[in-house]
Amino acid sequence: MTGNCIIYGKNAVIEALETGTREFNKILIANNSRNDTKIERIKELASQRGIIFQFVDSRKLNQIEPEGRHQGVVAQIAPIKYTDLDDFIANVKGNIVILDGVEDSHNVGAIIRTCVCAGIKGIILPSRRGVLINPVVEKTSAGAVNKICIIKTNSLVNAVQKLKENDYWVIASDHHAKDNYYDIDYTNMNFALIMGAEHAGISRSLLKLSDFVVKIPMLTNFNSLNVSNATAIILFEVVKQGVKG
């Protein structure tokens, strides 16, 4: 098997096994993790799918993931398959989140996890300026990367224009906006929500294409809400209004 990538963490490995959309090479499990409920679940799922797993010294796992976040399990797995935007529009549809240059893998993983919980069907990532799917994203998402269409594009502007041509309303989150995020009626629209980079925010070209620009009102002038938290706040207003993705 060529082109392996690494995922680690019990929940990430379990979700990838349960979803069944990723090809596994093998799973490495720390010797001192034998009597663990989630490790037993991993062994069970691996056995059902005929996937090799082996027990190794935890030092081997630390060599693969030096920061020690592997939770006693590392899997060699095929890279995630990105969805084509045209295929998404034609066959999946549903609401979508666009990340404009989000650079922190933990934020991207947390946002993907929130999107799945809130019923969002797709997420668009730029090919160059920002983070694509990597082991940290997979771990932080707790396996949610396997439950949503992830679209990679060379041009967010072109992607947004294509969504608008296909009856999507584009909503940008920007702290300079006049309108609040909860003033929008999300119930009767297909929408694409744009969230900006941690420091730079959303690019001007995308703001100009947006149908709505909204903010999360702050009670103080300490305006530094984390982008993953901000995404969760807006998406669960959508859930509150009864939208199901």
pLDDT tens per residue across span 62-77: 888 877 789 999 999 9
Q: What is the pLDDT of residue 114?
A: 98
In angstroms, rounded to a whole number, what is the distance separating the alpha carbons of residues 178 and 118?
25
Same domain, 93 and 199: yes
Least Cα distance to 125 among 142, 148, 147, 94 occurs for: 148
Same domain, 226 and 130: yes
Least confident of 31-35, 58-62, 152-156, 159-163: 31-35
Residue type, 233: I
> What is the share, in percent, of the chain residues with pLDDT greater than 90?
75
Asked if residue 245 is part of any domain, the answer here is: no
Q: What is the pLDDT of residue 133?
A: 93
Same domain, 101 and 145: yes
Q: Tens digit of pLDDT for each residue in 162-215?
A: 999 999 999 999 988 999 999 999 998 999 999 998 778 899 999 999 999 999
3-state secondary structure of 221: coil
| Angle, CA 161 vertex, CA 92 and CA 150 arms, to 5° | 40
Q: Tens digit of pLDDT for each residue in 118-135?
A: 999 999 999 988 899 998
How much is the pTM?
0.86
Among residues 53, 77, 101, which one ends one of the domains?
Answer: 77
Higher pLDDT, 222 or 126: 126
- Does the pLDDT at position 12 exceed 60? yes
Distances (CA, A) of 121 to 32, 92, 96: 38, 8, 6
Higher pLDDT, 128 or 243: 128
In angstroms, rounded to a whole number, what is the distance separating the alpha carbons of residues 92 and 200?
31
245: confidence class by pLDDT, cuts 50, 70, 90: low
Same domain, 140 and 184: yes
Same domain, 89 and 68: no
Q: What is the pLDDT of residue 1?
A: 37
H-helix or E-strand spanning residue 178: none
DSSP conformation class of 92: I
19: confidence class by pLDDT, cuts 50, 70, 90: confident
Do 170 and 194 contact (CB within 8 A), yes or no?
yes
Question: Which domain does 53 fall in, by range?
Answer: 5-77
Residue type, 82: Y
- Does the pLDDT at position 2 exceed 50? no
83 CB-near residues (< 8 Å, 6+ apart)? 92, 122, 149, 150, 151
Which tokens in the block code for residue 17? 């096994």
